[in-house]
Amino acid sequence: MMTNSHTPSSSMYLFGIDLSKHSRLAQFLLTSTAVLVFHVAQGYIQELILQLKPLRTYPNYFTLVQFICFTVLAYTERSLFGQSLKRRKAPLHTYALIALFTIGTMALSNAAVMRLNYPTHMMFKSCKLIPVMIGSMLILGKRYSLYDILACLCMTIGLIFFTLADSKVQPEFDLLGVWLVCCALVADAVIGNVQEKALKEYKPSNSEMILFSYSIGAIYLLLFELTFGSLKEAFWLWWAYPIKSYVFTMIYSFAGYLGVNCVLNLVRHFGALIAVTVTTFRKAITVILSFIAFTKPFTFQYLWSGAIVAFGIYLNAYGQNQKSIDNYTRSIYDRLLMKCRRKNQIHRYPQELV
């Protein structure tokens, strides 16, 4: 099912469990399932946090708390496995660059979700395949097929109609949120390819990548907040709602940390585009869960425009794995045909087959 552009390395671990003895398909399915579980849980917790509107006032502070939590979790993981901070494989300037784009992705995304309906925000992030493909062409020199181009067109058209539907039924619709999430997607496209390049060139561990990129990012954010932000006001506002702010954000960050580890495994072993396809699928699940779990206006335009985006995602997946999907579909068709013929023979000649 997987393309051969990314061969598995000598070892692959998922939360300390060695998956190297399993098949490539099993490795992909196990890692992808973990991505879906942790990121869907993270999305649900984030929307719980956003239900408290005063917390939307300081999106940068929310991002800062996330970065601090990720740094502590990565440091704890490295300490538990006896990995020294001095044994750093990638240079600091690489992590400084990754940290900058990570801030761009998360800070802009958090600012956007404060202004947009959550499903609309997720739908935009589901179209991350578009800038990732553009970024792959510019940074890694990759080329894409007609299926990928058609996938981009479907996603773009579906996204436009989904946004138009949101602007009609949501009284709090903010066009600035659309621009912010678009900028977040561009930063996200860059970071995926930069991470892939760093993982290939220096082969750092996931915990090293997270620790240094998020700790440097936390320093960036802290300096920015001290210079231009309202750090003190944000802290005391959050302190007024300690459970829904700090406790929920720590749980949100923990689920996100585990999810990021899984995504980095996908990037390392299967490539940035496959990783984005998996995370895009989990965003679709998050959108459905958001409509089910939280009361919000609904229109059928959400349904068919979302279906266009989903078709674009399918076209992209088909373009990347056309031969494997065709072979798998043909094998299913042949098995069904054989069963039908067998049933017909039993029906026509029951005595001869007894």
Residue whose tokens read 């784009």 = 101
Q: Is 223 exposed, middle or buried (0-12, 13-18, 19+ CB in 10 A)?
A: exposed
Top pLDDT among 195 and 75 is at 75
Structural tokens at position 66? 């996330």
Top pLDDT among 316 and 239 is at 239
Mean pLDDT value of segment 57-66: 90
Residue 5 has pLDDT above 50, yes or no: no
Concatenating the DSSP letter of every residue in 178-217 gives: HHHHHHHHHHHHHHHHHHHHHHHHH---HHHHHHHHHHHH
- For residues 176 and 161, give the distance between their C-alpha atoms in angstroms, rounded to a whole number: 17
Structural tokens at position 124? 């935009």
Concatenating the DSSP letter of every residue in 126-185 gives: HTTHHHHHHHIIIII-----HHHHHHHHHHHHHHHHHHHHHHHH-TT--HHHHHHHHHHH
Task: Report percent pLDDT > 90 for the chain.
Answer: 12
Angstrom distances, CA of residue 47 to CA of 101, 130, 261, 309, 315: 24, 25, 22, 22, 30
Q: Which run of H or E residues covers position 13?
A: strand 13-14
pLDDT computed for residue 2 by the predictor: 41
Least confident of 2-16, 70-84, 295-309: 2-16
pLDDT computed for residue 6 by the predictor: 47
- Those residues whose C-beta lies under 8 Å from the C-beta of residue 72, and which sit 6 or more positions away, are none
Domain ranges, ordered by start, for the chain: 23-344
pLDDT computed for residue 18 by the predictor: 73
Q: pLDDT of 90-145, one tens digit each? A: 888 999 999 998 898 888 888 887 777 777 776 776 676 677 677 667 766 777 77
Residue 303 has pLDDT above 90, yes or no: no
- For residues 338 and 239, give the distance between their C-alpha atoms in angstroms, rounded to a whole number: 66
Mean pLDDT value of segment 237-251: 91
Q: pLDDT of 8-54, one tens digit each? A: 444 777 766 777 787 777 788 888 888 888 888 888 888 888 788 88
Q: Model confidence at 205, in pLDDT bands (50, 70, 90)?
A: confident
- For residues 289 and 63, give the distance between their C-alpha atoms in angstroms, rounded to a whole number: 23
Q: What is the residue-averaged pLDDT of the chain?
A: 77
What's the pTM value of the predicted model, to 2 decimals?
0.66
Tell me which residue of 116, 134, 106, 99 sits closest to 56, measured CA to CA: 116
pLDDT computed for residue 90 by the predictor: 86
Q: Model confidence at 171, in pLDDT bands (50, 70, 90)?
A: low
Top pLDDT among 273 and 204 is at 204
